[in-house]
């Protein structure tokens, strides 16, 4: 267990720092925001389409229930591909630079989404239609797996040390923009088109229309300079990272103590707190943003409009929560803010769940908005910066991406399932949800006991903070 400050920053910078203007920082921020927004818009577009129309367009021939299950299973395929993409593109990003990889990931992710809108249906080409859909979902997930982690790394490495929190919070805001945008598009389509029009051609509009954002994001990234931290890192020569053997030889020749220490570090010591930070936030997200919709509509027997409206309103409130928490992380440190927000969340779990379980509309809104913003969005704001700061420059992209995706896949996979089964077994009690929220919220608190403060550390340092 370590609560010490990060190692001294000697031996980690080059003589001539890479120059970046305010315009370069603005482009990096815009690039990160656009990529994250597109990622979450893509996945939300598909999730809504899977529930509304894909069962009839790509999986007919079976019962309606099986068609829906098949459509949702195809949705899950994208999440399976994400850790693989995080590993592959993360390693590539640590080798050849952030901008090259982020260009590839957004092209794969956005291109696959656009092509979904051009797919023939099962009525046109039979079994080949769902096969092509699965292939595009795999490509989409493969690219998306390294997108949000890469955007977080890029912004952390671009931003001034004392402003990293508020600047990197744009990544978390991108998730809100993408989800809300996709939900709004589908809401308009369902409202103005008949079912026949929606099935005939209307469903293609959001997928094909996403190409506009894709082209703009690609244009921004074509003009984006490489991360100054990557260019200045001691293990990078002419824009390409040296191999481990070359790094060792160079470090011994130059008596680079930090690099020699980095080569001897045990990587799992940094991965454990990083995993717990992500696992806790993702678990809370799965419970509140996925399961709670079902809890409100099925268990509490409230209307669908209440559940969807409370999610939208809470997401809008997050546009205030996220930058405030990011700025506080700059002022008071990531570790302290994680502790403060986790403790507040633990205190609020019971009263907010009691408010929601009361099935009174105003209380449901208040309870959900407070809990969602404190235990999900506040932690997301801190997470997007803290994870890159924990890891050293040599493996930052890969480590951040793999930890993010694996922890999220486990937490969001088991959380809603356990909650649904437990609530059913207790005939609709809110207590199982409160217990699970408590379990996931404790994880980041434990992580802070295993890590030092990382705010402001030199990101060119090849050593992990732990």
For 200-231, how does the pLDDT look when each residue is reduced to its tens digit (9 = 90+)? Answer: 899 899 999 889 888 988 888 888 888 888 88
The predicted structure's pLDDT at residue 11: 39
Tell me what pLDDT residue 188 has: 86
Mean pLDDT score across all residues of the chain: 86
Q: Is the pLDDT of residue 56 over 60?
A: yes
Confidence of residue 83 (pLDDT cuts 50, 70, 90): very high
H helices of 198-243, in order, are 204-222, 228-232
Q: What is the pLDDT of residues 94-104, one digit of tens each?
A: 999 988 899 89
For residue 69, pLDDT beyond 70: no
Domains along the chain with CATH numbers: 22-228 (1.20.1250.20), 266-449 (1.20.1250.20)
Q: Are 113 and 78 in contact (CB under 8 A)?
A: no
Confidence grade of residue 2 (pLDDT, cut at 50, 70, 90): very low
Lowest mean pLDDT among 61-70, 252-261, 313-322: 61-70
Token representation of residue 193: 């088109």
Give the global pTM: 0.86
Name the token pair of 216: 């703009």
Confidence of residue 18 (pLDDT cuts 50, 70, 90): low
Q: What is the pLDDT of residues 398-457, one digit of tens each?
A: 999 999 999 998 998 788 888 888 988 888 899 999 999 999 999 999 999 999 999 988
Q: What angle do CA 309, 313, 55 make, to 5 degrees?
A: 45
Distance CA 412, CA 409 (A): 6
Bridge partners of residue 236, in order along the sequence:
241
Averaged pLDDT, 360-387: 93
With the C-alpha atoms ordered 336, 289, 90, 238, is the resulting torsion angle positive or negative? negative
In Å, what is the CA distance from 74 to each residue of 52, 70, 304, 412, 417? Answer: 14, 6, 24, 17, 18
CB 401 within 8 Å of CB 146: yes
**pLDDT for the residue 289:** 82
Phi, psi of 241 (to 5 degrees): -70, 140
Give the integer Cα–Cα distance in Å for 407 and 279.
Answer: 5
> Which pLDDT score, from 0 to 100, does residue 10 have?
36
State residue 74's pLDDT score: 64
Q: Which of 11-15, 28-32, 304-308, 413-417 has the lowest mean pLDDT?
A: 11-15
Q: pLDDT at residue 310 above 60? A: yes
Which residue in this structure is represented by tokens 């996709």?
182
Q: Give the per-residue pLDDT at 305.
A: 75
Integer CA distances (angstroms), 232 to 157, 226, 319, 371, 395, in order:
11, 10, 34, 41, 15
Residues contacting 310, CB < 8 A, separation 6+ = 296, 364, 365, 368, 369
**Whole-angstrom distance, CA of residue 78 vs CA of residue 55:** 17
Whether residue 342 contacts residue 444, with contact meaning beta carbons closer than 8 Å, is answered with: yes
């Amino acid at each position: 267990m370590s609560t010490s400050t990060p190692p001294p920053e000697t031996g980690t910078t080059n003589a001539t720092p890479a120059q970046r203007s305010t315009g370069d920082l603005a482009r990096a921020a815009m690039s990160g925001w656009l990529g994250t927004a597109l990622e979450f818009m893509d996945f939300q577009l598909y999730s809504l389409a899977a529930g509304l129309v894909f069962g009839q367009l790509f999986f007919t021939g079976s019962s309606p229930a099986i068609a829906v299950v098949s459509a949702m299973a195809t949705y899950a395929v994208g999440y399976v591909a994400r850790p693989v993409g995080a590993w592959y593109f993360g390693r590539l990003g640590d080798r050849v630079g952030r901008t090259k990889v982020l260009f590839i990931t957004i092209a794969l992710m956005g291109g696959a989404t656009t092509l979904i809108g051009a797919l023939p249906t099962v009525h046109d080409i039979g079994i080949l239609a769902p096969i092509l859909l699965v292939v595009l979902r795999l490509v989409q997930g493969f690219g998306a797996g390294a997108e949000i982690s890469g955007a977080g790394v890029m912004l952390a490495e671009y931003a001034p040390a004392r402003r990293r929190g508020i600047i990197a919070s744009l990544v978390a805001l991108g998730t809100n923009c993408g989800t809300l945008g996709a939900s709004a598009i589908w809401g308009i389509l369902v409202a103005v088109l008949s079912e026949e029009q929606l099935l005939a051609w209307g469903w293609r509009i959001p997928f094909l229309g996403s190409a506009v954002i894709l082209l703009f994001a690609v244009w921004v990234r074509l003009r984006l300079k490489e991360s100054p931290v990557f260019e200045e890192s001691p293990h990078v020569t002419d824009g390409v990272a040296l191999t481990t053997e070359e790094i060792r030889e160079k470090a011994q020749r130059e008596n680079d103590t930090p690099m020699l220490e980095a080569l001897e570090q045990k990587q799992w010591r940094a991965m454990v707190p990083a995993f717990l930070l992500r696992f806790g936030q993702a678990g809370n997200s799965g419970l509140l943003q996925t399961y709670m919709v079902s809890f409100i509509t099925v268990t509490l027997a409230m209307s669908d409009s209440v559940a969807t409206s409370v999610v939208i309103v809470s997401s809008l409130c997050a546009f205030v929560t996220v930058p405030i928490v990011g700025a506080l992380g700059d002022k008071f440190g990531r570790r302290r803010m994680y502790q403060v927000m986790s403790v507040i969340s633990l205190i609020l779990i019971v009263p907010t769940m009691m408010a929601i379980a009361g099935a009174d509309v105003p209380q449901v809104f208040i309870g959900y908005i407070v809990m969602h913003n404190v235990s999900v969005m506040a932690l997301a704001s801190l997470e997007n910066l803290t994870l890159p700061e924990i890891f050293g420059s040599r493996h930052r992209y890969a480590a951040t991406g793999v930890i993010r995706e694996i922890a999220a896949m486990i937490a969001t996979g088991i959380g809603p399932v356990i909650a649904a089964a437990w609530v059913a077994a207790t005939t609709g009690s809110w207590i199982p949800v409160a217990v699970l929220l408590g379990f996931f919220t404790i994880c980041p608190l434990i992580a802070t006991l295993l890590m030092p403060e990382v705010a402001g550390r030199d990101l060119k340092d090849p050593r992990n903070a732990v």
